[in-house]
């Protein structure tokens, strides 16, 4: 997939479903689709070493609604993040650290 499309256009997880939930108009009811299971694509867990890593790990877990904390080496988009969720992560980080937290800086740690 990545040889023909950009990484953002390639699915991270592919799930087999017996059928798609449809609305009365015959369109897929996206709200009723199961949540993707990202556990198979997650690398080995690496615990946070610094206070900043621990803080960002907590923000990611809460914002992404993850059951377990993500590895500090996890790729944000691979574990379910999107550009819009990235803005929520940045807002939560700014709330905890103050106005100096930038979107780019959030993903450097």
pLDDT band, very low/low/confident/very high, at 16 (cuts 50, 70, 90) = confident
Helix, coil or strand: residue 28: strand
The tens digit of pLDDT for each residue in 23-77 reads: 999 999 999 998 877 666 556 788 999 988 898 899 989 998 888 888 888 888 8
Is the per-residue pLDDT at 12 higher than 80?
no
pTM flag (> 0.85):
no
Distance CA 93, CA 109 (A): 12
Helix, coil or strand: residue 96: helix
pLDDT recorded at residue 28: 94
């Amino acid at each position: 997939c990545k040889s023909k499309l950009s990484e953002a256009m390639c699915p991270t997880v592919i799930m087999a479903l017996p059928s798609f939930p449809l609305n009365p108009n015959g369109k897929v009811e996206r709200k009723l689709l199961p949540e993707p299971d990202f556990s198979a694509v997650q690398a080995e867990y690496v615990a946070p070493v610094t206070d900043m890593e621990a803080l960002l790990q907590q923000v990611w877990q809460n914002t992404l609604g993850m059951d377990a904390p993500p590895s500090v080496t996890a790729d944000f988009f691979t574990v379910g993040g999107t550009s819009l969720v990235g803005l929520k992560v940045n807002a939560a980080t700014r709330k905890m650290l103050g106005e100096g937290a930038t979107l780019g800086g959030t993903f450097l740690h």
